[in-house]
Copies of this chain bind each other. A is one copy, B any other.
Amino acid sequence: MAGIELKDRSFTCTAPVNIAVIKYWGKRNEELILPINSSLSVTLHQNELRAKTMITLSSSFDEDQMWLNDKEEDISNPRIQRCLREIRRLATKTCSIDPSYLEGHVQIRSENNFPTAAGLASSAAGYACLVYCLSQVYGLKDVDISVIARQGSGSACRSVYGGFVSWEKGEREDGEDSIAEQVCPDMHWPDLQVLILVVSEQKKTVSSTSGMRTSVETSSLINFRANNVVPARMDEMKQAIKEKDFSTFATLTMKDSNQFHAVCLDSYPPIMYMNDASKYIVQLVTAYNLLYSSPRLAYTFDAGPNAVLFTPGGNIGEILGLVQHYLPPNPGAENYIRGVSAGQAVPPTPSKTTINGIGLLPWKPGSLQYIIHTRVGPGPMTI
């Protein structure tokens, strides 16, 4: 590089978390992270949950380095290496940057604005942010980065878009057609509200990677789900989102969450992510919807006990009251409701009619750590 004076290139980007409403579970190729079925997610707003990554590319760095929440991480992690290699390959191929930069190294600093202990899909946001920010650093402004993000963490490919995002499983063996696509942007359905119910004593005993492997190897039902159930659900879900048909959206979301956990349970040894608090939330949502004879509230659970609820905006006060009544905080607990409704008036206690209709006893105080109120949000951005 003698004689070349290259300015350091530095970008800071953020990327969102996404929550699947048609679940991804099972890889057909572990190396390339290719799924056995398509999936569909809602991108959550970055005000409440986001990964933030600053990357500097410099010819003066001797090696690539990475810090996560100020702690240096081992960058030799094969998934990170694959993302770096793919971005550099694409930069070389498209001549997106002065070739001399390709001999430089990067320093990557990443952090989350949400509790990492709570198991809230930090790897999806993290890898989407890493790949998006790398694409900025390497001048890859108009390319589909979902294929690269996918190779960091499967569901990360869905975090490269805002709004409602499908991940089409693809057919090709090299995975080039296993890409994310935006179904509708975040402003398409501004009314949709999201509550994350963070359950206490979170312990994810089985990682998604190893859980999926166990399920693919041992479940008798997983292929039937992938081949015969999910394709129709993908079509129905896209239609429901396009039409803002909450009833269909809610029913499919709940059914698909149930089926994902059913496949986990059908694995051997069985994988059980939901606990008694999760079960109670399912019963509460079911009773509430029964009371109104139509779905006003939907739940979904990822690979852990935390619930994510969806509801149209008009119900949000009632539902915050419902959750706070049936899943009360520990006495004196602060910041029980976070995000959009944080610090607002105490939500109303459910009416006697509602309480009689629901017919459940409130859960013991402190079973939920806290509630995050958020909304559908945009995709990665440079700040």
Given the known inter-chain contacts A220-B259, A229-B220, please indicate yes or no for A272 contacting B265, CB distance below 8 A: no
Q: How large is the interface on A (under 10, 10 to 19, 20 to 34, 35 or more residues)?
A: 20 to 34
Return the CB mask of A257-300 against B: 1 if under 8 Å, else 0: 01101110111111010011001001000100000000000000
Interchain nearest-CB distance for A211 vs B (Å): 14
Contact A279 B269 (CB under 8 A): no
Contact A268 B255 (CB under 8 A): yes
Copies in the complex: 2
Chain B residues closer than 8 Å to A266, beta-carbon distance = 258-259, 262
Grouping DSSP codes into helix (H, G, I), strand (E, B) and loop, the A interface class, with mixed when no group exceeds half, is helix
Nearest to A282 among chain B residues (CB) is B270
Complex Cα–Cα for A259 and B262 (A): 8
Chain B residues closer than 8 Å to A148, beta-carbon distance = none
Interchain nearest-CB distance for A107 vs B (Å): 39
> In the complex, given contacts A258-B268, A272-B279, what are 8 additional A-B residue pairs having Cβ atoms less than 8 angstroms apart?
A220-B228, A224-B228, A258-B267, A262-B262, A262-B263, A262-B265, A269-B286, A275-B279
The contact sample of 22 A-B pairs, CB cut-off 8 A, is A220-B225, A220-B255, A221-B224, A221-B225, A221-B229, A221-B259, A251-B268, A254-B269, A255-B268, A258-B265, A258-B266, A258-B267, A258-B268, A258-B270, A259-B265, A262-B265, A269-B286, A270-B282, A272-B279, A272-B282, A275-B276, A276-B276
Give A residues with C-beta under 8 Å from B: 220-221, 224-225, 228-229, 251, 254-255, 258-259, 261-263, 265-270, 272, 275-276, 279, 282, 286
